[in-house]
Amino acid sequence: MTSAHADSAVPAGDAPAGTAGGGGGGSRSAGVTVVGSINVDEIVVVPRHPEPGETLLATSSALAPGGKGANQAVAAARLGADVHMVGALGDDDRAAVALSLLADAGVDLAGVSRADAPTGIARITVDAGGENTIIVIPGANARVDAAFVAAHEQAIAAAAVVVLQGEIPATGSARAAELATGRVLLNLAPVVEMPDAVLRTADPLVVNVHEARLLLTAWGDDGGDPDDGEAAGRLRRHGIRSVVLTRGEHGAVCVDAAGVTSISSPRVAAVDTSGAGDAFVGALAARLAAGDDLRTAAAFAVRVGAFAVRGAGTQPSYPWAGDALPESGEAAQ
């Protein structure tokens, strides 16, 4: 892959007050560094998802900040974590939308640069039941390769938790995993080809049921249609240090050296499920950076995900520290 460096850093005025110096330190912090995508979400609300070849009238549309990396950074920062973002966006009008809630949440944007490509776009269709389909156009996110990431070594090496996803080039994720001295949280979404060495650095690997099965198939593990706990366990038997398998409204399954734990989700009335997985990952990273064990962190993250589906959009639906989170066993409202 040809290295394409971003042209310029985001001006200090775009960073939240008190964070513009950024860049990480020489010693491990208690913080989170997210190396990942920054997008603008184009959200279209429809009564139902159209059939192939069908034209359907939408009920509304909107632009909002998004991208799995940015979503996870906002989720962690709103919950009180010290978060540094490494990523790229375009020198275009959409960039201001993409940055707006990152800055508002207090994310350090010193690692975000302008690239010679348009800001990434996610086209999201949401039906009346809150279920969504998403098409991602990477744009500037495709510039976040190994060379780009290497320029942010200090911020990555200083973090207690480094968060990675599948929306930037695999070479960028691989370089970040090499530079990390803290815990690597890899959310392999979407499922992209990733070196096995990177996958085995993950602690945890976070995937949903569909992604877990795709990964097992890619490894030639064709042992039928495993249930959730079995799928997570089989991933760990392939050399993954720990696995968190997210199950939407059914919660999550954690697998590590201590065994398998199923965590139930509170029952809530979903308005929009887009970005709920990213809310979970951001919350998980925040609590792991604060010193929680995997199960305690995942139990908290499940409640954050349940909070997020009760609001429209991705980042705007995420809770702040101090917001009341739904409890397990709570009736739908």
Say how far apart CA 254 and CA 264 lie, in whole Å: 11
Structure confidence at residue 133 (pLDDT): 87
Q: What distance lies between CA 138 and its chain's CA centroid?
A: 15
Question: Looking at residue 243, what is its pLDDT?
Answer: 97
d(CA 225, CA 166): 24
Task: Give the burial string for 114-134 (b: 16+ CB within 10 Å, else e).
Answer: bbebbbbbbebbbeeebebeb
pLDDT given for residue 21 in this prediction: 33
Cβ atoms of 167 and 138 within 8 Å: the answer is yes
Question: Strand, coil or helix: what is 219?
Answer: coil
The whole-number pLDDT of residue 30 equals: 60
Q: Which of the residues in the chain have pLDDT under 50? A: 1-28, 329-333
Cβ-Cβ contacts under 8 Å for 92 (sequence gap 6 or more) = 118, 119
Residue 114: what pLDDT?
94
Q: CA 105, CA 178: separation in Å to the nearest integer?
A: 28
Residue given tokens 């968190």 in the structure block: 244
Q: What is the pTM of this model?
A: 0.86
d(CA 68, CA 56): 27
Nearest in space to 31 (alpha carbons), one of 83, 77, 78, 70: 83
What are the catalytic residues?
A: 278
Q: Which of 175, 176, 169 is nearest to 193 (CA)?
A: 169
| Domains in the chain, CATH or no CATH each | 26-36+68-88+105-112+141-317 (3.40.1190.20)
Q: Look at the block and give the residue holding tokens 């705007």.
A: 316
